[in-house]
Amino acid sequence: MNHSLRITPVEFGTPDFTTFLDLPWKLHGHEPNWVPTMLRLQQKDFLNPKKGPFFEFGEAQYFLAWRGDTPVGRLSAHVNRNYDAFHGPDTGFFGFFVCQDDAEAAAALIDTAAAWVKARGKTRLLGPLGFGIYDEVGVLIDRYELPPAVMQVFNPPYYPALLEGTGLAKSIDWKGFRGLPTEEMREVAQRRLNEALEKTNLTFRKPSPAEVLKRVEEVRLIFNETWKRNWGHVPFTPKQFKAVLTELRPMLRTRFMRAFYDEQDRLAAFIITIPDINYAIKDANGRLNLMGLFKLIKAAWFSPVKNVRTIIMGVKEEYQGQSLHHAFIAATYLQLLDTPSLEWWDCSLIVETNIPMIRAMRAYKAPMGQTWRIYEKAL
């Protein structure tokens, strides 16, 4: 029997919020390739209006879809004052979308989010996004046979049609590249690295995790400067960026990071590649109990590196156009060639309009990985 559908608002700290938090595990925990983008405790803090950095400048409402007493879907509706200041005040968002293959439930959730943002003066609905383009991004639309890298979204193949059935249409795609560096490209990578280094007077070295954390404000400012023209970019606040690096801290390894410095030892550019610990997150079932913590620490610090993800890069504006990004890609490529346990390298996410970066990856014959789509509709 098909129970009647209802949508209910969810307040943080209530039993329904626990249901909201646990729903991805309930609906998708059986999927072989599904891994949560955050540990359960991390997501709880992230969504907490009293703790989450987003709530310094944003407002959100959570919703659940029910069939009788059974939860069948969830999402957030949110508005972002920093986005408004950077891109204009017309856009509201939905995110943290999870739904079983139920067209009526999906449509009701999207309609509810649309009504919520419209009541706050918005004329466009955009998503799914966590609370921004550097959180959970989009819906996976291809290559479902590939497991997600750490902090990447994975969803069942029915999601795109489910969302398109609600009247949403493509807004933008984000790309990933995934493959294994090949020995035949070693000479090319070394030559490109040498050429890039010969063109600059900057010092090139491997920073330690402690140095990256010490220079967190330099890293934040360079990141914001680098990506200010990127689609959907909203500058990180200090609290947001500190939270990001705190999350990355256990995965930072000196040999997978590179940086350029000027004559005063100021940071000029950086790239961070991290070990992929998704297999340990899946083994721990996203929960940070004692055994889960042991598995995560072992994967992050001690186990041979099987997979990596290049996750963040920045070049100070005055040094852009000097091929520093080519030096970073070449140096990372060479490092990974000398990592015998490696099975694949993921470089993501790159917005489809970032043609220079896509060309740079293709120059190394990097295979295309997966694609994540963000949708929109007028209200």
Instruction: Say if 106 falls within a structural domain.
Output: yes
Average pLDDT estimate for 30-56:
89
What DSSP string describes 98-162? EE-S-HHHHHHHHHHHHHHHHTTT--EEEESBSSSTTSSBSEE-S-TTSPPPTT-----TTHHHH
Q: Do residues 163 and 241 share a domain?
A: no
Q: Looking at the structure, tell me whether residues 139 and 188 fall in a common domain.
A: no
164 and 279, same domain (yes or no):
no
Please write the tens of the pLDDT for every residue from 113-139: 999 999 999 999 999 999 999 998 999
In the chain, the number of structural domains is 2
More confident residue, 5 or 321: 5
Q: Is 290 contained in some domain?
A: yes
Q: State yes or no: pLDDT of 75 exceeds 90.
A: yes
The verdict on residue 374 lying in a domain is no
Closest CA to 217 of 236, 230, 202: 236
354 belongs to a structural domain = no
Tens-digit pLDDT profile for residues 290-334: 666 777 778 777 889 999 999 999 999 999 988 999 999 999 999
- 162-184 per-position pLDDT tens digit: 999 999 999 999 999 999 999 99
Q: What percent of the chain has pLDDT over 70?
A: 97
Is there a contact between 87 and 235 (Cβ–Cβ < 8 Å)?
A: no
How sure is the predictor about 289, in pLDDT bands with cuts at 50, 70 and 90? Answer: low
153 and 22, same domain (yes or no) = yes
Q: Within this chain, do residues 171 and 268 fall inside the same structural domain, yes or no?
A: no
**Residue 23 pLDDT exceeds 80:** yes
Which of 154-163, 169-178, 244-253 bottoms out in mean pLDDT, i.e. has the lowest?
Answer: 244-253
pLDDT at 246 over 90: no
Q: Which domain holds residue 278?
A: 181-342
pLDDT of 1 reads 44
Task: Classify residue 362: in a domain, yes or no.
Answer: no
| Residue 286 pLDDT exceeds 70 | no
19 and 168 fall within a common domain: yes
Tally of CB atoms within 10 A around 339 = 17
Q: Return the pLDDT at 288.
A: 63
Question: Tell me, what CATH number does 211's domain have?
Answer: 3.40.630.30
Domain shared by 194 and 101, yes or no: no
Are 135 and 36 in a shared domain? yes
pTM of the model: 0.95
Domain boundary among the residues 176, 198, 215 is at 176
81 with 225, same domain: the answer is no
CA dist 127 to 93, 258, 312, 376, Å?
A: 6, 33, 22, 6
Based on the domain organization, do 259 and 163 belong to the same domain? Answer: no
**Rounded mean pLDDT, 82-87:** 97
What is the phi/psi pair of residue 68, to 5°?
Answer: 65, -120
**Cα separations in angstroms, 206 against 42, 135, 307, 319:** 29, 26, 20, 19
Same domain, 158 and 218: no
Q: Given a cut of 80, is residue 19 above it in pLDDT?
A: yes
**Residue at which a domain ends, from 176, 199, 219:** 176
Nearest to 181 by CA among 304, 324, 363, 358: 363
